[in-house]
Amino acid sequence: MFKFIGFIAGFYFYGFPGGLFGLLLGAFLDRIRVYGTGAVNPLQNALREGVFLETLFIAMGKLAKADGIVSRDEIDHAEQSMQKLKMTAQHRQQAIVWFKQGVDPGCDIRAVCQRFMTVCGNTRNLKQVLLVYLIVMALADGYFHPAEEALLMEVASCLGYDQAAFRQILEMVLNQSRFSAGETGAALEDAYKALGVTKDSTDAEIKRAYRKLMSQYHPDKLMGQGMPADMIAMATEQTKEIKLAYELINQHRTG
């Protein structure tokens, strides 16, 4: 959008050289608008990556301990995250330190979230991906404990989500997980909930909700905002469930 405006304005005032400059400036602004300042600021991007990982593993530890017992499934989930990230031995040790920090009863999760917000607070996609991944972590042992839900609500509040917004995200992830488990025969109602819509929503509203969710997990956007490159595959796994839910709704409506 900006690159076309820049070209027209530059050409109008300064001819072709001005149009070329306006085109380049507009493309630069478009990249910031779509992918965030991290796309043009490698140092800020690297800082966000580090803070994202630190927050993620501390919160995972806190979440694993929330119900009083750190289960084998939760530990396995954390280890799988490290494997998918292809962490070096040194980085794995750092992630373990963060995880144990979260398990410690003295860990102040609000302070951890405040640091995350200071560095990543203006990146909506990173905030939501962090919250979604923690919800998935809470479901790792097959049981969603009330203490885990309370902690997630506290984290969501620190990230700027009110209770209604948190409930909507929670409902979507819970229902998306049914599709992740291969339950393609899941109730149509679950598919609607997975997209954050209802059976009364119009086709246009459903399509808009689907596109919005898919956009939130777009690899370029996530990397531009500071998502570690090796985590992109993990984050975009969520799109598989979203696609299945959307396809089920489409089949019902067009069939």
Residue 26 has phi, psi (to 5 degrees) of -65, -40
Please report the pLDDT score of residue 233 as a whole number: 65
Please report the pLDDT score of residue 162 as a whole number: 92
Q: What is the mean pLDDT of each run of 10 residues along the chain (255 residues)?
A: 46 43 42 44 66 90 82 74 70 86 92 91 80 82 83 94 89 71 62 85 88 79 67 69 84 78
Please report the pLDDT score of residue 13 as a whole number: 43
Contacts from 147-153 at CB under 8 Å and sequence distance 24+? 147/66, 147/67, 147/68, 148/63, 148/66, 148/67, 150/66, 151/62, 151/63, 151/66, 151/109, 152/63
DSSP conformation class of 88:
-
pTM of this prediction? Answer: 0.65
* CB-based burial label for 255 (10 Å; 0-12, 13-18, 19+): exposed
Please report the pLDDT score of residue 7 as a whole number: 40
Q: Which amino acid is at 198?
A: T
Please report the pLDDT score of residue 242 as a whole number: 82
Show me where the domains of the chain are located: 1-32, 36-254
Three-class SS of 133-180: HHHHHHCCCCCCCHHHHHHHHHHHHHCCCCHHHHHHHHHHHHHHHHHH
Distance CA 156, CA 195 (A): 19
Distance CA 116, CA 11 (A): 43
